[in-house]
Amino acid sequence: KAGVTQTPRYLIKTRGQQVTLSCSPISGHRSVSWYQQTPGQGLQFLFEYFSETQRNKGNFPGRFSGRQFSNSRSEMNVSTLELGDSALYLCASSLAQGSEKLFFGSGTQLSVL
């Protein structure tokens, strides 16, 4: 069974641009969560999607958004990029909403110049 797949693996953008990251969950998993990981702040929860609806949201500005498709694949978008958005963005899937056991992908490393 394939794990969580995130694309692209690396991304370089400049300030003010927008970016879209993609996540394919484990087959059969219906919940997708996104986390931001930085050396200073560690892992911080962005949001969770289940059945194409955002079920839970962390403390991030509205520039961070996401969506989930009917096949459970998810995308997250960051608009008007800032230098501080440079981070590893991790996607995790689980069987059900609010499930405690998350399976993480390898992440997308975003660098904002």
Partner 1 sequence: GESVGLHLPTLSVQEGDNSIINCAYSNSASDYFIWYKQESGKGPQFIIDIRSNMDKRQGQRVTVLLNKTVKHLSLQIAATQPGDSAVYFCAEIQGNALNFGKGTSLLVTP
User: Which residue ranges make up the site for partner 1 (CB under 8 A)?
Assistant: 4, 33, 35, 42-45, 48, 55-56, 58, 90, 92, 97-98, 100-107
Alpha carbon of 109 to those of 8, 85, 86: distances in Å?
8, 10, 8
Instruction: State in angstroms the smallest separation of the CB of 16 from partner 1.
Output: 28
Cα distance between residue 84 and residue 76, in whole Å: 17
Identity of the residue, 40 or 62, whose beta carbon is nearer to partner 1 in the bound complex: 40
Which of 81, 107 has the CB closer to partner 1? 107
Task: Give residue 16's identity as a one-letter amino acid code.
Answer: G
Tokens 């797949």 — which residue? 5
Q: Smaller CB distance to partner 1: residue 67 or 103?
A: 103
